[in-house]
Structure 1
Amino acid sequence: MSWTKNDYPASLKNLPRDVRNKAIEIANALLDEGYEEGRAIAIATDRAHQSEEGSTPDKTEYHVTPHDDGWQLKKADGKRAILVESTKDKLLSKAKDYVTDHSGTLVVHKQDGSVEDHLYQR
């Protein structure tokens, strides 16, 4: 399903018009490549924000992954956990603030290690 400037996912509703239009364009291209809708929206939103701000995709990536003691937040190339919590929900609330404060992006993984979501943090 392709989206238009007048018919798009509710998750894009609160984006600035220029960012939303760019996200719609990118999401449609990702759908054409076979991406699942939710994943296409997340990626498109991130890329549209980057395009709008003139930033490059070299922002620091932080990953939420399973840990022996629950869940951890690590820098993409980091060796040690920045934060560790017993549950994913507890970690996510802290991780989002941390990543926002450090102008990064947050990649959330499932228990099996596959990517669940990719969030752009301001």
Structure 2
Amino acid sequence: MQNYHIKPHDGHWDLTKEGAERASISKPTKAEILAATEEFMSERTGSVKIHLANGRIEEERTYPRSADPRRSKG
């Protein structure tokens, strides 16, 4: 399973694959990057960690949902 991170970077938000130097997607707002990530991950299996502006992890999402190893609502 691939791991991705959504983080703020130089005034915009990036979706970056763990270990990559360049962002897979970049958008001006967090709402836009979240929407673009849904589409991007629709054909991939992976985990996306969503960070707050201060860098702390706010949430983690698994795509597709059926690949989530935990039986939780989150």
Same fold (TM over 0.5): yes
* C-alpha RMSD of matched pairs (Å): 1.0
Cα distance in structure 2, aligned partners of 1:66 and 1:60? 20
Cα shift at 1:100: 3.1
- Which amino acid is 1:78 matched to? A
- Which amino acid is 1:61 matched to? N
TM-score by length of 2: 0.80
The equivalent of 2:40 in structure 1 is 98
- Which amino acid is 2:7 matched to? T
Unaligned runs of 5+ in 1: 1-58
The equivalent of 1:7 in structure 2 is none
Deviation readout 1:47-98 (Å, 9 max, x if unpaired): xxxxxxxxxxxx1011100011410000011110111100000010011221
Higher relative contact order structure (alpha carbons within 8 Å, sequence separation ≥ 6): 2
Unaligned runs of 5+ in 2: 65-74
Instruction: Report runs of 4+ in structure 1 exceeding 2 Å deviation.
Output: none
The structure with the largest strand share of the pair is 2
Q: 2:5 aligns with which of 55, 58, 63?
A: 63
The structure with the largest helix share of the pair is 1
Cα distance in structure 2, aligned partners of 1:101 and 1:94? 13
Conserved 8 A contact 1:99-1:121: yes
The equivalent of 1:84 in structure 2 is 26
Give the number of aligned pairs: 64
Q: 1:109 aligns with which of 51, 54, 60?
A: 51
